[in-house]
Amino acid sequence: MKLGAFSLSLAVKDIEVSKVFYQNLGFEVFGGDQSQNWLIMRNEDKKIGLFQGMFDKNLMTFNPGWDNNCNTLESFDDVREIHNKCQSDGVEITSSAIEKDSGPASFFIADPDGNVILFDQHV
């Protein structure tokens, strides 16, 4: 499966404090909206998302349809294909926001150790 861009989505207590911390590690703000309590930061090809009040714990995130610079890929596995493959392989879908046959959609799974994985397609 082509899962798209990968990042860690971090549940933070104070987005400003976390932003400064990661800036001190060489990350720069790449996207998001701090007034809405979320930022995407990068350091070379590494990406993290800072999310205040949106998630209970940290997540691994895959963005089908995007490369590492959030550019739309010409060819990719749609999130619905990935969702169907997970279901057919017996992977429990813990939450799903798939309402249309194309375009943006997302779903969550958890690995055997309880680590949460978000598949979040924006295109």
Query: What range defines the domain where residue 34 resides?
Result: 5-121
Instruction: Note the pLDDT tens digit of each residue in 3-31.
Output: 999 999 999 999 999 999 999 999 999 99
Please compute the mean of the pLDDT values over residues 57-66 and round it to a whole number: 96
Tokens encoding 45:
């090809």
Nearest to 103 by CA among 82, 85, 86, 80: 80
How many domains are contained in the chain?
1
pLDDT at position 44: 94
> Using CA atoms, how far apart are residues 21 and 110, in angstroms rounded to an integer?
28
Query: Contact 13/52 with Cβ under 8 angstroms?
Result: yes
Quote the pTM value. 0.91
Residue 19 is part of a domain; what is its CATH number?
3.10.180.10
Instruction: Note the pLDDT tens digit of each residue in 63-119.
Output: 999 998 889 999 999 999 999 999 999 999 999 999 999 999 999 999 999 999 999
